[in-house]
Amino acid sequence: MKKVFKRGVMTLSVACVSLILMGTTAVEAKGPLTTEVKTQAVQKTSLTEERINTVLKEAYEKFKDNQEGKNADYIKALAIVDSKMFGITLVTPDGKVYEIGDTKEVVSIQSISKVFTAAKVMQEKGDKFIQEKIGVNATGLPFNSIIAIELHGGSASNPFVNAGAIQSTSWVEAKDSKERWDKIYGNMDDFAGTKLGFNEEVYHSEVNDNKNNQAISKILDARGRMGSDPLEATTVYTKQCSVNVSAHDLGMMAATFANDGVNPKTGKKVLDKKYVPKILAIMATAGLYDNAGDWLYLTGSPAKSGVGGGILAVVPGKLGIGVVSPPLDKFGNSVRGQQAAAYIIDQLGINPLAQ
Ligand code: GLN
């Protein structure tokens, strides 16, 4: 059986603490999906177009019928998204696009947005600011944990859990909420190299039901860690989570990181090159939440997931990977998204830690 998110009482056996924090029910699941892909001895392969196309097709065929996992349902609008949707896009730093499946279908970006807002704050305030004000360590606890803040001296620990993400949003320099939102949205457009859509349905579904995140923002405010009004920042954070992305968009956003912060399609420099490794380091540490260690062990690659079912993975200098598939594992990470990305990295022999 799979472990999935459900609102209610939590009974996960891993860490009682984390359960209390998340307010979710865990349904028993089998082991980590990471066992699906057996990492082979990494061969140095050249990334020919033919090889990329072959591996992409194999990944799609291999995992397309896997129905493991379950759509997030604690945000009601996510429960009704087509769980069969499955698209994979690969983009090389020179802007070549390889894709298969439902690569134009969109889901809400959710937590993947945290990467771009943190990048924006880093660009405006520097990497030390992120490290000192928010943190860059793993919490070892679920992404919406409240107790994690208390356990770590009133700190969010990193910008990719909800606490740190709401903080990042609050620290984007802006005179008001509208300017903050416009900058965050425009920054994601720049990473994607296109104007991204907005999912009103998801936004309204979550903004009326985000009391846990409001509570997080208030605690952080009490600890002097917020850059703007906590509830205003939470609302803008909820908006940024409601931006629509396709596998194609995610592939391009990932490729912007793989290409030293320059969008391969538009040529626009979105993030200073010196900050790219910093953001990728946080992705490696906390991009897949409390499963980040297993993921890194398997792939050696920074990645970020969202409960909408999107995932992006970055192989610096080589490849941006975007996958959309809504059913999630117990950590809130797309099951087929992880499988496909891990398979591609493995089969192309591009694990960055094995070069
Ligand atoms: N908007 C979601 C939330 O705050 C994002 C969570 C996620 O994608 N992990 O709960």
- 70-124 residue pLDDT tens: 999 999 999 999 999 999 999 999 999 999 999 999 999 999 999 999 999 999 9
Residue owning the nearest CA to atom 6 of ligand 1: 111
Strand segments, DSSP code E, in 112-174 are: none
What pLDDT is attached to residue 27? 30
CA distance 232 to 63: 41
Judge contact between 109 and 243, C-beta under 8 A: yes
Ligand 1 pocket: which of 307, 328, 329, 333 to mutate (most atoms <8 Å of CB)?
307
What pLDDT is attached to residue 149? 95
CA of 84 to the centre of ligand 1 (A): 21
Both tokens of 11, joined, read 């009974």
What pLDDT is attached to residue 244? 98
CA of 241 to the centre of ligand 1 (A): 7
What pLDDT is attached to residue 255? 98
Both tokens of 111, joined, read 């937590």
**127-133-137 Cα angle (round to 5):** 75
Ligand 1 pocket: which of 22, 111, 139 to mutate (most atoms <8 Å of CB)?
111
Strand segments, DSSP code E, in the chain are: 87-91, 97-101, 106-108, 244-246, 303-305, 310-315, 319-324
CA distance 293 to 283: 11
Q: Could you confirm whether domain 33-354 is CATH 3.10.20.30?
A: no
CA of 162 to the centre of ligand 1 (A): 7
Q: Reply yes or no on whether the pLDDT at 40 is more than 50.
A: no
Residue owning the nearest CA to atom 4 of ligand 1: 162
Both tokens of 222, joined, read 């009490």
CA of 52 to the centre of ligand 1 (A): 32
CA of 242 to the centre of ligand 1 (A): 10
Ligand 1 pocket: which of 73, 114, 141, 143 to mutate (most atoms <8 Å of CB)?
143
| pLDDT (average), residues 298-321 | 98
CA distance 217 to 224: 11
CA distance 23 to 238: 19
| Residues contacting ligand 1 via CB (< 6 Å) | 110-111, 143-144, 162, 206, 213, 241, 306-307, 332
For 126-156, write each residue's pLDDT tens digit: 999 999 999 999 998 999 999 999 999 999 9
Delimit the domains of the chain by residue range: 33-354
